[in-house]
Amino acid sequence: MWCPNQDTLAGLDLGAAFVACRWRELFDQYSPDSYHAKLYSLSGLISEAVEIAELQKNQAAWGKHLIWVKAEIDERVKTGIESQFCSARHLGMLNKISSSDTSSKIVRLGRVLELEGFSETLEASMREEFRQLDFDSVPSKKKKADQLLTTLGTYAFRRGCNSNDCANISDALDGDVENVRSWVLGSLEGDESEFDCVVVVDAKDEKTIGSIRAVCERAGICRSVRLPGLPEGKSHVVFRRKTMGLRAIDAAEKLRAEIRSNLNILSLYRQSSGPVILSEMWIVQEDEIVQVQAYSPSLQNLHPRRDASRLSASVAAALEQRLSMGPNLESEVRSALDLNNLALSMHDHRLRLINIWSALECLASLVDGKSIIDRVVRLVVPILTWRKIDKVVRYLSISIHYWLKNNPTIDRSSLPFKLGYKDAVHPEQILKLMCEPKDSAGIVKLLEVVAKHPLLLYRVYEAWKIFHNPVTLQRDLERSSKRLTWHLWRIYRARNLLVHQGVEHDCLPQLSNHLQQYFSWTLSRILHGLTLGSQWTARDSWYYWKSKSDHVVESLGTNPNGLLMQDMFPEDLSHPEAEVWSNS
């Protein structure tokens, strides 16, 4: 979260500041996935349901996938802001899609919505709502503004908006409120344009140059003369063509993909690995050539651990100890690590997703289940559902830490248990405050400390509304578990379409990113368990974390006062046996 000095925010319109901060948070790679833009709008979910219904006509197995998408549509219609902009007739059609038992009916309803321009009309209505948004009303209606911005974020994401586009928040806030409005709306605009793209292939040897030229030129991709500013190399072949794209990088990537497809044919008949396409790409603008940066959303939300060396040494020792007991012990974990490392070495998001899913399947063999996807869901969902508490609280802790660090004049003396002393903000301290009852001294003071940051104030208050009531938190975790299950089925579907039919899902890079996160978090917990004792197996470790998750979710509804801090966090704590809801 962007946490500047208070003076930066002091002269700003609070509504405009909230909108700008939230828009940046939607695409910030350091934001939790819970606060990111969604992959699908309501109309996008309808299109997905229609595609699956078409598949179901030939293969009944797709009906299982359709069940989950229909459930997601039903929830979005009931709880999302988009349904407020649908006509009564369209709402009726959406309800019929989510409740239909026949794929043909879903296809027919979806076809009518498509012909009526439902998707375009809905997006236009959402844009107009933002154009007319009264920024003065935002501070008192942040929840509604948040829902609107989150939905608009999905539309912007579909047009290629990313963290780089939202980094210049200071420029957006440097002016009147209309500057912020234009900044957001600018991310939603744009039709495809023509770009003069350049891609370079390294033939490895000069003998292959002729073959590369022949196979690409037959496909209409012509070789270009060498241009100043390109890397030198006798075996380099330069291709240049005008290509359409939303952005320069999109056009260049499109040309790169076409060249790759043609070189794959050459590789088949030569029975050797194909020539290397350089990762750098260029655009010719007037009299100069400009390199465009490849921006892949795959793996962007995972960041190196500061204690990576210590953790690696600890896990390596634990695995080595088990290897001495038998060569096949924990083979699932070793194979998963191999496949993960292979995925990390790849630039192609399709190959990344396939290998990461294979790695997850290896781990899923630790779990009983009727099918692959059933085992994957049983493996991942409990651990990630339990992790949400730590994820949200840690994000707040980091944000509050930077807020205090950048604002040394804030009085820390009245904050409970030395919160903010030397700018230290521990997650367990924040969780304790989030679980305090209404109007308690600790949470009131914390809200006062962050009051001048509109988004941070909103995040703290919304988290408190969920966390201070154990039953509300239980419902929130159950909702997260359900949504995670839907998304795992979506990733599984994308993987199957790619492997079995060669169909590339339109959000494959993002699905690869999400899958990498899920795999990394799950395997990290399993490896952590192996370090707890020499007798622990990977299956023991998974069941240990699953039992923690089950205990927390069940106790929230039956005995919240029995929950301790050590039940909520994976790492060592200063007060592990402190009660979480001692005041409830």
Contact yes or no for 519/356 (Cβ under 8 A): yes
The pLDDT of residue 525 = 92
**What are the pLDDT tens digits along the chain (584 aa)?**
888 888 888 888 899 999 999 999 998 888 988 999 898 999 999 999 999 999 998 889 899 999 999 999 999 999 999 999 999 999 999 999 999 989 999 999 999 999 999 999 999 999 999 999 999 899 889 999 999 999 999 998 888 787 877 778 888 888 788 888 898 888 887 778 899 999 988 887 777 888 888 888 877 787 777 778 888 878 888 888 899 988 888 888 889 888 888 888 888 888 877 788 888 889 998 878 888 876 555 556 677 777 778 888 888 887 777 766 665 667 888 899 999 888 888 878 888 999 999 999 999 999 999 999 999 999 999 999 999 999 999 999 999 999 988 888 888 777 776 776 776 788 898 999 999 999 898 899 999 999 999 999 999 999 999 999 999 999 999 999 999 999 999 999 999 999 998 888 888 888 988 999 999 999 999 998 888 888 888 899 999 999 999 999 999 999 999 999 999 998 888 888 989 997 64
What percent helix, strand, coil does the chain show, rounded to 5? 65, 5, 30
How much is the pLDDT for 546? 95
* Contact between 156 and 247 (Cβ < 8 Å): no
Q: Is 285 exposed, middle or buried, given 0-12, 13-18 or 19+ CB atoms closer than 10 A?
A: exposed
Token output for 115: 């012909």
Distance CA 210, CA 206 (A): 8
Q: What is the pTM of this model?
A: 0.90
Rounded to the nearest angstrom, the gap between the alpha carbon of residue 573 and the centroid of all alpha carbons in its chain is 28
How far apart are alpha carbons 413 and 424 in whole angstroms?
13
Distance CA 150, CA 289 (A): 37
Cα–Cα distance measured from residue 123 to residue 156, given in angstroms and rounded to the nearest whole number: 11
B/e letters for 73-83, b = 16+ CB within 10 Å, e = fewer, are: bbbbbeebbbb
What is the three-class DSSP state of 564?
Answer: strand
- C-alpha to C-alpha distances, 302 to 139, 496, 509, 517, nearest whole angstrom: 32, 25, 14, 7
Q: What is the pLDDT of residue 327?
A: 59
Say what the pLDDT of residue 217 is. 80
Q: In terms of DSSP H, where are the helices of 100-206?
A: 103-115, 118-131, 142-158, 169-173, 177-186
Give the number of other CB atoms < 10 A from CB of residue 353: 28
Q: Read off the tokens for 469.
A: 């009531």
Task: Please give the pLDDT value at position 473.
Answer: 96
Distance from the Cα of residue 408 to its chain's centroid? 33
CA proximity to 554, closest of 478, 500, 486: 478
Q: With H, G, I as helix, E, B as strand and everything else as coil, classify residue 375.
A: helix
